[in-house]
Amino acid sequence: MSVICIQVGGAGNRIGLSAWEQLLREHEHCIFPDKFTEEEKRRRFNSDYQNDQDKDEKYLNVFREKEDGKFVPRTLFIDLERPILTISELSDSTGENLLKLIQDHESECSESNSLFVSETSSVLDSSSYTYANGRHSSRSKKLLEIAMERIRSLVEKCESPFSFMIVSSIGGGLGSGFVSLLMDSIYTSYSKTYKCAISISPDFENAGDNGPIEALNSFLYMGNSTNGWDAKIFMENKAIENLCKKEFHYSSMDSVNELISLVISNVTACNRFEGPLSTDLQNLTHNFPYPVMNILYPSFGPIHSSMKTVPHGYGTEMFTYDCLASPFIESSEGYTMCSSLLYRGYVEPRTINTVVRKLKDERALKFCSWNPSGLKVGAVFHRPLYSCNSNLLNMHITAFMLSNSTRLKSSLERIKHGANEILTMKSLLHHFHSEGMELDEITELTENFESLVEGYQELNAEEELGPDEE
C-alpha cells in the first residue's frame, strides 16, 4: 500500500525533510544504484538477509518512478510560504541527494505537480499563529483548495491502494487549525482510505508568552479528534528532548527531529520492506477498543550515543526493554489498551515469541485487565540506517512500539491545564471569535476534548480499582 505523506507548517516541514532523508537513506541503493558498489550495498542494506533485494519494489510505495526513470517522494510540503530547503546539522550526503532529487523535480515539473503548496498572495502576515486563523482565514481556504488539487494529483499517480499520513506540530496555527481543516476535507473526499496523523505536541510550558496559545491550539486540535481519521500518533517535544539529553548529553531541534523522523521511518517500514512477520501501517495502528480514543504514542530503542560501542551480548530482549524505557511522551504510570511492536533487522520469529511471552509474564506492558493480549507484533528485515553525523549508534536490530494507553491521560491533562488559562479569559476567546471561529465551535471542541480526557481518566481509574489481573 502506498503512503502519501503530507507535512504542514514550519515544524512539519522540517520534520518532513528529516524523515524523507531517513527514507531515502534506507532506499538509496534503489534510487541511485550507480552510487553504490555491491559490497557497500551488502554492508549498508543488510542484503545478506534478503534474496534479490534489488528486485524488491516496495520502496515504490513511498517513492514514485517517473517516466524519465527519476524518482520523486510521494509527498507534499504545505506552509504559508514556500520553505527554504536546508539540510540539518546531522545530515550527510543523503541529505544533499534528497535536496537534489526535490530540486530536480521542481525545476522540471509543472505547477500542478509541485511538491510545495503555499499561498503568499494576499496578506502580508506570514504566520497564522492561532487554530482559529489556521482553520478559518480566507488564506487557509485558498491553501486548502490548492492542497486538495495536488492531493488528487498524487492519488492519481498511485498504482496500488494508498493511505494518507499528515505530520505537523499542533502548537502552531497552521499545524493545528489548517491541519484539522485539511483532515476534514481529506476525510470527506477519501472516506474509505486509511488515514493517520502524526501530531507533535510542543513544550508549551517553556514556550514563554506563546505557551498558552500553543496549548489552546493543541487543545482545539485534539478536540477535533472525532473527525474520522483512523489513528493519531501523538508525541511530546519535551519527552523527546529529554531522551536526547539523557543519551547524547545535549538536545537540539535537529536531534529531536531525527528521532521523530525515525517514527515516520518505522510506521512506514512494513509498507517499504519485506519481513518474517509481515504487517502494514494500517494493521499496526488499527485495533482500538474505543474508536474515539484512537491515540498512540511511540517508543523506540535502543537510543545509544554514537560515541559508544555496541554493548557486549546485546540481544533481542534488551532491545525490547530499551524500547519500552524510551516513550516519546512524558512518562507516567498507566495501563495499555492495545499496542504494536515492530522489530527491524534480522530477528528470528522464535526469539520474538520468547521475548513477547516474557513481556507478558513479567507484565512489562501492564495491559488493561479486559484486553490482556492486546499486542501485535511485526518484523521487517531492514533496520533503520543513520547518517554518519547522527548522534545515534547504528544497531543491527531496533524495536519500535506504538501504544494506546491510559498513560496518555497525563499528556491530555497537561494540554488542558495549559489551555485553561485562555479558555477562562473572555477577551482572548473573543479574539478567536474575531478570527472567524464561532463560539459554538469552541464549545463543541471543548466538549470533545473533555470527553476524550475523561475516557482515559475513567479507564485508568477502573483499572486501579478493579481486579487487576491478566
Interface contacts to Mg ion, rule CB under 5 A: 9-10
Least Cα distance to 379 among 465, 270, 271, 467 occurs for 270
Give the nearest distance from C-beta 338 to ligand GTP in angstroms: 26
Which is nearer to ligand GTP, 19 or 256 (by Cβ)? 256
Return the SS3 of 317.
helix
Which is nearer to ligand GTP, 127 or 457 (by Cβ)? 127
CB-based burial of residue 190 (10 Å sphere; 0-12 exposed, 13-18 middle, 19+ buried)? middle
408 binds, among Mg ion, ligand GTP, none (CB under 5 to 8 A by kind): none
Which is nearer to ligand GTP, 237 or 448 (by Cβ)? 237
Q: Which residue of this chain has its Cβ atom nearest to Mg ion in the complex? A: 10
Which is nearer to ligand GTP, 60 or 183 (by Cβ)? 183
d(C-alpha 32, C-alpha 18), whole Å = 19
Tally the C-alpha atoms within 13 A of residue 12's C-alpha that lie toward its C-beta.
Answer: 30
Give the nearest distance from C-beta 175 to ligand GTP in angstroms: 3
Which is nearer to ligand GTP, 131 or 367 (by Cβ)? 131
Give the nearest distance from C-beta 129 to Mg ion in angstroms: 8
Give the nearest distance from C-beta 10 to Mg ion in angstroms: 4
Which is nearer to ligand GTP, 171 or 345 (by Cβ)? 171
Give the nearest distance from C-beta 9 to Mg ion in angstroms: 5
73 binds, among ligand GTP, Mg ion, none (CB under 5 to 8 A by kind): none
Name the helix (H) or strand (E) containing 169. strand 162-169
Which is nearer to Mg ion, 80 or 452 (by Cβ)? 80
Per residue in 30-52, is it b (16+ CB within 10 Å) or e — as a string? bbeeeebeeeebeeebbbeebee
Return the SS3 of 334.
coil
Give the nearest distance from C-beta 14 to ligand GTP in angstroms: 4
Give the nearest distance from C-beta 264 to ligand GTP in angstroms: 12
d(C-alpha 332, C-alpha 366), whole Å = 12
Which residue carries 524510551 as its cell?
326
E strands, 221-305, where?
A: 231-236, 295-301
CB-based burial of residue 312 (10 Å sphere; 0-12 exposed, 13-18 middle, 19+ buried)? exposed
Grid coordinates standing for 127? 504566520
256 binds, among Mg ion, ligand GTP, none (CB under 5 to 8 A by kind): ligand GTP
177 binds, among Mg ion, ligand GTP, none (CB under 5 to 8 A by kind): none
Which is nearer to ligand GTP, 347 or 422 (by Cβ)? 422
Integer angstrom CA distances of residue 316 from 268, 320, 322, 379, 396: 21, 6, 10, 12, 10
Strand-strand pairing, 63-65 and 116-117: unpaired
Integer angstrom CA distances of residue 207 from 202, 215, 333, 372: 8, 10, 26, 39
Interacting residues toward ligand GTP by CB under 6 A: 9-12, 14-15, 127-129, 134, 168-169, 171-175, 200, 202, 207, 214, 237, 253, 256-257, 260
The CB density around residue 311, as the number of other CB atoms within 10 Å, is: 11
61 binds, among ligand GTP, Mg ion, none (CB under 5 to 8 A by kind): none
Which is nearer to ligand GTP, 256 or 347 (by Cβ)? 256
d(C-alpha 107, C-alpha 123), whole Å = 27
Give the nearest distance from C-beta 81 to Mg ion in angstroms: 8
253 binds, among ligand GTP, Mg ion, none (CB under 5 to 8 A by kind): ligand GTP
Give the nearest distance from C-beta 177 to ligand GTP in angstroms: 8
